[in-house]
Chain A
Amino acid sequence: MTLSVRIIPCLDVTDGRVVKGVNFTNLVDAGDPVEMASLYDIEGADELTFLDISASSSGRETTLDIVRKTAEQVFIPLTVGGGIRSVSDVDKLLRAGADKVSINTSAIARPDLIAEIADRFGSQVLVLSVDARRARTESGFEVTTHGGRESSGIDALSWVEKACELGAGEILLNSMDADGTRAGYDIGMINAVRSVAKVPLIASGGAGALSDFAAALDAGADALLAASVFHFGTHRIGDVKAYLSKHNYSVRNVVAT
């Protein structure tokens, strides 16, 4: 009886469509989110993440609708992030069928939001998403905002420690240096955050080769999130799981492809 590594495809959603671009610019349309969620479920995804990057409130309403439709037909955990600013935003998403929410910028602006959400719904619903990059802060990693374009001036490690104390149930660590490059996860960053995080750690940003997934696990990640390598068919989820299984990592539902 061993806890399996989780493989999590992330779908960036705006106005009802999935998009993903290199370093968050030049977005390319990659499909219908409900259909893709269902497909990833069949292919063996262990969880799904929707990141709502809609700029408008009508876009956010569309996302609620997508969450509803997905929760009706996909029976694996669903995390939704993007634009969540209050306990009432979280309530709406959970009622629509999300199991977890991820928050990022709004928690930096007002850290007490972490405690408010955790107190109301439990830590297990709350994923703290950290967009971090290498910089001259105390730990060598800083938190960024606005999709990596702006520095928050906050040290990434002390932010993770504080967020865990406030009640974050999980950390989603996204390397803004590696994001979209497919050159591998930022191993040093995963190592550093693992050393302070007492909650599960999801590594994100940079997945390219199959060996990249294994390297992130060796650095201490509990789960691996990726977008473009899955959306554009570089790897199937089954390929990643078969590779990890062959290298003695515990994975769920390995199906030969």
Chain B
Amino acid sequence: MIAILDYGSGNLRSAERAFATTGQEVVLTSDPAIALEADGLVVPGVGAFSSCMNGINEVNGASIVQERLNKERPVLGICIGMQIMFSQGTENSQGEPFKGIGIWNGVVDRLNAPILPHMGWNTVEAHPNTVLLKGIEEESFYFVHSYAAKSSVGKKQSWSFYGEKFLAVVEDGYVCSTQFHPEKSGTAGLKLIRNWVDSL
């Protein structure tokens, strides 16, 4: 069973249907017991870093993620759900950055590009041993974000470029994340979801 963490963030219907194409049972939940026990937990996210963290804190999301990783249970962060895995985010902060869940030590910062958000289909430079991007290394994925992590974290990194190089996918043992939206990336995105589900 796949649990999608429901903390009031955006369009979860597409995510639910996209993960259901794998044949797995998919539940939208904010119940910690279900989120902890699921075979895989998806942490979605749209909007701003700080508002997502507020939502996460309301459902005790940080401890759910931490506890799952302690128990070696897979977690997949998507878009802002990826960004909040980092220790800090500067979006909308006046001075001190906002705190993230902090699985990875690093800062999510504004992309240096003349037109933001980075919105649309872009390709990635896939890590040679990628599991998530296996078979879709040359495909395009749908991005919509103005902030990104720009320094390497985790075991395997796949990069993309918009104004500057940034992390598109991180695969780090039981925690993985994508800056793009696989649930909005057509057949390539569904293949990535299938790759993740097959790895559980």
Contact = CB atoms under 8 A, between A and B. Distances in A.
Interface stretch (A92-100, A146-154, A229-237): A92-100
B48 A4 contact: no
B117 A200 contact: yes
B156 interface: no
Contacts of A86: none
Contacts of B185: 75-76
Given A1-B124, A4-B120, A222 B10 contact: no
B101 to A, nearest CB: 19
Interface in B162-200: 162, 181, 183-187, 189-190
**Majority SS of interface residues in chain A?**
loop
Given A71-B14, A125-B46, A252-B140, A76 B184 contact: yes
A4 B140 contact: yes
Given A41-B186, A75-B14, A99-B11, A6 B117 contact: no
A253 B14 contact: no
Interface string A108-144: 0000000000000111110000000000000000000
A4 B121 contact: yes
Interface residues of A, number: 36
Contact of A3 (B11, B51, B121): B121
A199 B117 contact: yes
B160 interface: yes
A46 B117 CA distance: 16
Interface size class of B (residues with CB under 8 A): 35 or more
A39 to B, nearest CB: 14
A5 B122 CA distance: 10
A121 B122 contact: no
A78 B154 CA distance: 33
B120 A122 contact: no
Contacts, number: 105
Contacts of A124: 46-47, 117, 119, 144-146
A10 to B, nearest CB: 16
B11 A97 contact: yes
B119 A97 contact: no
B115 interface: yes
A169 interface: yes
Interface in A1-21: 1-6
Contacts of A121: 10, 46-47
Contacts of A75: 14, 17-18, 183-187, 189-190
A199 B10 CA distance: 21
A48 to B, nearest CB: 11
B123 interface: yes
Interface string A196-221: 01111000000000000000000000
A122 B51 CA distance: 9
Nearest to A72: B17
B120 A222 contact: yes
Given A75-B18, A77-B142, A97-B11, A1 B119 contact: no
A71 B13 CA distance: 7
Contacts of A94: 10-11
Given A4-B122, A4-B140, A94-B10, A122 B186 contact: no
Contact of A198 (B10, B48, B116, B189): B116
